[in-house]
Amino acid sequence: MAISTRLTCAFGIRHPIVMAPLDAVGGADLAMAVSRGGGLGMLGGGYGDRGWLEAEYAKAGDAPIGCGFITWSMAREPGLLDLALERRPKALMLSFADPEPFARRVLDAGVPLFCQVHSLEHVRRALDVGASAVVAQGVEAGGHGRTQQGTITFVPEVADFLRNAGSDALLIAAGGLADGRGLAAALMLGADGALFGTRYYATREAAAHPDAKAKLLACSGGSTVRTTVYDIVRGKAWPDGYTARLMRNRFVEAWHGRENALVSSQGGVRHAYDDALSDGDFEIANVTVGEAAALIHDLPSAEDLTRRIGEEAEALLSRGADRLD
Amino acid sequence: MAISTRLTCAFGIRHPIVMAPLDAVGGADLAMAVSRGGGLGMLGGGYGDRGWLEAEYAKAGDAPIGCGFITWSMAREPGLLDLALERRPKALMLSFADPEPFARRVLDAGVPLFCQVHSLEHVRRALDVGASAVVAQGVEAGGHGRTQQGTITFVPEVADFLRNAGSDALLIAAGGLADGRGLAAALMLGADGALFGTRYYATREAAAHPDAKAKLLACSGGSTVRTTVYDIVRGKAWPDGYTARLMRNRFVEAWHGRENALVSSQGGVRHAYDDALSDGDFEIANVTVGEAAALIHDLPSAEDLTRRIGEEAEALLSRGADRLD
């Protein structure tokens, strides 16, 4: 028994599960494990570090994985896109800026283009540039995004938009999904599959600090917040309108809502942040996870986890039909 | 074919659909139509107006409907609870305050108690006082609530909590649900049924101004916001921590984020608000709807709508099983 969707058919994967590009947390070990489990693993190209990307690709060999970039950041070193495309990724995902300047190269390389979207305007743009899939991300998601809509309304709204536009682009739901329940719900909302980020952060292969993973496991629903404070302290030049969801901690309590003061005091605070990062002090350093953390209580291998999510969703779809009399 | 859940069995209803108490928008006509369609209609006891409640109950006769109150407001005239309980409601729903002072009277009357919850702390309290069902409301919901979590993470978190507590209370999902997709997703997330508010606002029987309904139909996903500005201008003494989701309009643009100024200038602004309300000017007056508005494009009868939502969900559950190969 397996769930068959347009996504599983198009990509020859067993489960309609895509791993979110997780920047440096999502290296080759994690991406390969997801693909071994029957999903689509994605290397976290992130802000774009050539040395990191080359090293991870050296590890990955010919493993069937994709790669995702923070578009505005990759744009400062666009050769990274060529580096990724030369590896013939199963999919190339662009997030957080107009995909137009890069879409042609992806398509010309014969690589399916995934565009992350936060509004119907983004969807329109993704279709214009030839995206194979849109990843509709709700506000529950960990990491960067827009403070707009929940996954439970945004996914069906995008599904309606695609249908009305006569588009056959795939629809992948993202934000707040942690298990087979989330995957099954995403399919009911009209998605062809689901993207999991925070859930893969809590796996053995994720390249996150053990104490950051431990903090994630202790999260409950109200433990995260969308904020810009870590972008400010790290000097990341995010475009207007983007915030990142991450765990509340002492640093967030101190600076969230006091962003102007943080900009002014940057030198000293930056120092303390850098120290905390190397010491693994996650009351100061960031644990970039989403609302799904409330549903995560273990640290499995990503391979087992992918199978488990798929099988849970299969059982739910099967039981759902049993409810019909 | 019909969906059978613990909710449909316990209440003898055809579809696992509950109408949200919608204050004065949710009168007897609307509640009765929902129940005729096979759901559970709920009279909107709201802030508590004895004349309104008596008139609506006079209309409703013995119709199989429930009733819901804004608990902290009803507490100022607790005789309203007796008035409702004398009508033997199918369920009595308490929202937005500790249910403990009223729970005993509900249980002694042999009426199932529904408690709306926004946190696990609320769930614990609801179980302590003997609730038959918890209504887990995400931030997407229209009207009042807490700015905490999306429906897609909160519902499974509450489901896990109930299971771990060994509770057999029913779980009803609320917030951002507008159609059979939302209902089917809620069931996959672990709910026994779903509560619809904004969707029923856009029905023929809803006692809302036609221009307010027209504005709802024109909504897209980013059209709503959680705010306190209308509570301030109307002098509603909401407890700390509650905000209401409603449509962005000129009034919201003018005052959201300037709440202190609004408190100071209240006299004149209140006047303009009252005028706008009687004139049906919804750039000044409030249209209290949630994110689900983005998914709503028609004004059916609530009876037809209830059937339609149920049948859409049935088809989705059936098709979901067809995906399994």
pLDDT classification of A48: cutoffs 50, 70, 90: confident
Q: Residue B48 above 90 pLDDT? A: no
Residue B236: strand, helix, or coil: coil
Q: Which residues of A touch B120 (CB under 8 A)?
A: 220-221
Under 8 Å CB-to-CB from A113, ≥6 apart: which residues?
Answer: A91, A92, A93, A94, A99, A103, A106, A107, A129, A130, A131, A132, A133
CA A173 to chain B, closest CA, distance in angstroms equals 11
Residue B91 is given by DSSP the state -
pLDDT digits (tens, 9 = 90+) for A274-321: 999 999 999 999 999 999 999 999 999 999 999 999 999 999 999 998
Q: Which residues of A touch B315 (CB under 8 A)?
A: none
Give the amino acid at B85.
L
- How far, in Å, CA of A276 to CA of A273, rounded? 5
pLDDT of residue B229: 96
pLDDT classification of A53: cutoffs 50, 70, 90: very high
Lowest model confidence (mean pLDDT) among A62-71, B66-75, B259-268: B259-268
Give the DSSP H or E segment for A92.
Answer: strand A92-95
Task: Estimate the crossing angle of helix B151-164 against helix B180-188, to 10 degrees.
Answer: 40
Reading the block at residue A320, the tokens are 């759902």
pLDDT of residue A242: 95
pLDDT of residue B67: 97
Best of B188, B198, B309 to substitute, by most chain A Cβ atoms within 10 angstroms, is: B188
- How far, in Å, CA of A251 to CA of A286, rounded? 8
- How far, in Å, CA of B178 to CA of A314, rounded? 25
Best of B152, B164, B247 to substitute, by most chain A Cβ atoms within 10 angstroms, is: B152
Contact A320 B321 (CB under 8 A): yes
Residue A46: strand, helix, or coil: strand
**Burial of residue B58 (number of CB atoms within 10 Å: 0-12, 13-18, 19+):** exposed
Give the amino acid at A12.
G
pTM above 0.80, yes or no: yes
Residue B107's CB is within 10 A of a number of other CB atoms, namely 16
pLDDT of residue A265: 84
CA A13 to chain B, closest CA, distance in angstroms equals 14
pLDDT of residue A256: 96
Q: Residue A266 above 80 pLDDT? A: no
Asked whether A286 and A24 are in contact (CB, 8 A), the reply is no
CA B92 to chain A, closest CA, distance in angstroms equals 27
pLDDT digits (tens, 9 = 90+) for B142-177: 999 987 899 999 999 999 999 999 999 999 999 999
Q: Residue B100 above 80 pLDDT? A: yes
Radius of gyration of chain A (CA): 19
| CB proximity under 8 Å: B 277-296 to A | 291-292, 294-295
pLDDT of residue B45: 85
- How far, in Å, CA of A67 to CA of A113, rounded? 10
pLDDT classification of A206: cutoffs 50, 70, 90: very high
For A188, phi then psi, to 5°, come to -65, -30
pLDDT digits (tens, 9 = 90+) for B191-248: 999 999 999 999 999 999 999 999 999 988 789 999 999 999 999 999 999 999 999 9
| CB proximity under 8 Å: B 23-62 to A | none
Q: Residue B278 above 70 pLDDT? A: yes
Q: Which residues of A touch B171 (CB under 8 A)?
A: none
Asked whether A245 and A224 are in contact (CB, 8 A), the reply is yes
Determine the average pLDDT of the residues in B128-150.
95
What rounded mean pLDDT belongs to chain A?
Answer: 96
Q: Residue B266 above 70 pLDDT? A: no
pLDDT of residue A1: 78
CA A109 to chain B, closest CA, distance in angstroms equals 32
Contact A119 B222 (CB under 8 A): yes
Cα dist from A321 to A122, A241, B9, B188, whole Å: 35, 42, 17, 11
Asked whether B170 and B132 are in contact (CB, 8 A), the reply is yes
Q: Residue A47 above 90 pLDDT? A: no
pLDDT of residue A267: 80
| CB proximity under 8 Å: A 112-171 to B | 119-120, 138-140, 148-154, 156-157, 159-160
What rounded mean pLDDT belongs to chain B?
Answer: 96
B200: nearest Cα among B52, B15, B39: B39
pLDDT digits (tens, 9 = 90+) for B109-124: 999 999 999 999 999 9
- Which of B152, B181, B318 lies at the smallest CB-CB distance from A140? B152
Task: Estimate the crossing angle of helix B180-188 against helix A302-322, to 10 degrees.
Answer: 120
Lowest model confidence (mean pLDDT) among A243-252, A263-272, B87-96, B173-182: A263-272
